[in-house]
Structure 1
Amino acid sequence: MATNRITFDDLPSNVLAAVEERIGPVLKSETVSQGFNSEIAARVFTDSGSCFVKGLRADHKRVWTQRREAEVNPYLHGIAPALLWQIEEAGWVLLGFENLKGHHADYTADSPDLPKVADLLRRLGEVPCPEIELRRAEQRLQAYAAKPSDLDYFAGRSLLHTDLNDHNVIVDDSAYLVDWAWATSGAAWLDAGYWVVWLMAAGRHEPESAEQWAREIPAWRVAPADGIAAFARATANVWEEIAGHDTDEWTARMLNASRRWASFRQRA
């Protein structure tokens, strides 16, 4: 469910002052509309440059996601924008990140962004899973697996992003993953699987062409076929729950893509 968004200037004056102690006087700010996990998401500009600020109230039920992003960021050099500072002030938790200059990834079938995203996932696969508290893929998917034994396929010690939404991938000369709120440990091939569904939904790929891109990721090429089928079924069940009885257009696309992929994998 989306978190209500407020503007940067709506923050309490002492919180704004704490930010300016870090970056200098703010000349302007631009609210970012995409994303669901933050109450504040804005590009903030000063004489010396810019940064991306995101945050939640300290009593928000998902404030742990802010702290998770801060914990995982030092391990993501070249994969995610660098965390420049963090503030806990007057009931707010804010993170200040490097402001990337690129565009949101284009997942359409002939997009020049796709090789860069595949390279990003290959590089992520080379990052050792840090010794910090992370959710585990088999736990997150426990309620959605068709049978308990399917969960064994999802377990592992690889660092995963798990939300390959095209708005979470910024592309310039290279590609970067933002919004690490749901960083997870699990089987190395799972992020490629998440990407398959997003390619089908956002880029209107068929299952075969989406999986062709997944095969660019080494971990996917050695993933067990039964495990992929189990993950496809579980993913469809996740989106069935998210969609509920009255779904919007965006969620409907994800539900349709996940159903199509699960059906394709059942036949494969």
Structure 2
Amino acid sequence: MPAAPIAFDELPAAVRTAIEVETGPIRRIENINTGLNSSLSARAHTTGGTVFLKGLRTDHRWVWTQQREADINPYVTPLAPRLLFHVIAHGWNILGFETIEGHHADYAPGSPDLPKVTDALRELASLPCPDIELRHAEQRLADYVPHPADADAFQGDALLHTDWNNHNVLITDDRAHLVDWGWATRGAAWLDPAHWIIWLIAAGHTPVDAEKSVALLPAWTLAPPRALDAFAHASANLWEEIAGSAPDDWTMNLLDAARLWQQHRNDRS
């Protein structure tokens, strides 16, 4: 379930004070309601500029993602916005990032954003995977494949983002930036293009065209067809679990996309 949203002014006064120790005096707050993985999501306009804030209570089951983002940030900038500070105080865990002025990526067919996203995928694939604590793709997906051994195909030493929600991709004049690294993972290099395919299909691409969109990425060319089949199967099962018994329209769209890609892979086989 998404983290319950909270406005900046609803934070305990002591937490707001701890944030202002890092930011300087805050003149204005823009609360943002598009995030799924954070309770607090806001832009703080300060005397020195704008800072993006994201936070969770320290007792939230996903609070570990805050530390994951802090740990990984030095290794993924400038692809990601730079982390300015990390505050843990009075029951809250808060990250402060430099603000990227851009728009959320448009994944629709023909979008001018698509080449920039492809370049970001290529850049990410060139980064070494840091020696920090990361989840492993084969572990994350083991429960969603028909046989546990099928998940062995997802093993690898590449750094993966894995959450290609278009709200996690900010487009500026010259490039795409990736935000929300809490679910960063170690695994096979072709997995990030494969994750993106489902979002492309959800945005209106056919499975064939979605695969063409990643076909020239070096990481994608390394993907064994049977491993792709296993991932498509796992993704459909994962989105079924996320959807549950009463999915909203957004989740149902992703589930339909995952099922459509799975069927396409089955038909190819």
Q: Normalization by structure 2: what TM-score?
A: 0.97
- Given that 1:118 and 1:216 are in contact with CA atoms closer than 8 Å, whether structure 2 keeps it comes out as no
Regions of 4+ moved over 2 Å: none
Counterpart for residue 228 of structure 2: 228
Aligned to 2:187: 186
User: What is aligned with 1:92?
Assistant: 92
- Opposite residue 175 of structure 1, the aligned amino acid is A
- Other structure's SS at 1:28 match: strand
Tell me which residue corresponds to 1:157.
157
The CA distance in 2 between the partners of 1:259 and 1:89, in whole Å, is 43
| Contact 1:239 1:254 survives alignment (8 Å) | yes
Q: CA deviation at 1:89?
A: 1.0
Write the distance in 2 (CA, Å) between the matches of 1:248 and 1:211.
27
Distance, in Å, in 2 between the alignment partners of 1:156 and 1:3 is: 30
Aligned to 1:195: 196
2 CA distance for matches of 1:10 and 1:166? 28
**Aligned-pair identity (%):** 52
Q: Is the partner of 2:205 in helix, strand or coil? A: coil
Distance in structure 1 (CA, Å) of the matches to 2:251 and 2:39? 21
1:239-250 matched pairs, under 5 angstroms:
239-250=239-250
* Cα distance in 1 between the residues matched to 2:245 and 2:92: 34
Per-residue deviation, residues 51-100 of structure 1 (Å, max 9, x unmatched): 10001111111111100110011100121111011111111110000111
Is there any run of 5+ residues in structure 2 with no aligned partner, and where? none
> Cα RMSD over matched residues?
0.8
Q: CA deviation at 1:105?
A: 0.1
Distance in 1 (alpha carbons) for counterparts of 2:32 and 2:155: 34
Q: Which of 229-238 and 14-23 deviates more?
A: 14-23
Q: Which AA in structure 1 matches 2:87? A: I
Q: Does structure 1 residue 266 correspond to structure 2 residue 269?
A: no
Counting matched residue pairs gives 267
What letter matches 2:88 in structure 1?
A: E
Aligned residue for 1:121, secondary structure, equals helix
Q: TM-score scaled to structure 1, two decimals?
A: 0.98
Q: Which residue in the other structure is 1:213 paired with?
A: 213
Name the residue aligned to 2:83. Answer: 83
Note if 1:121 corresponds to 2:121. Answer: yes
Aligned position for 2:106: 106
Q: Give 5+ residue unaligned stretches, structure 1.
A: none
Alignment of 1:129-168 (within 5 A): 129-168=129-168
The 3-state SS of whatever aligns with 1:128 is coil
Give the C-alpha shift of residue 161 in structure 1.
0.7
Name the amino acid aligned to 1:183. A
Take 2:8 and 2:201, find their aligned partners in 1: how far apart are those partners? Answer: 35
Partner amino acid for 1:253?
N
Q: Partners in 2 of 1:15 and 1:35 — Cα distance?
A: 20
Distance 1:37 1:77 in 2: 21
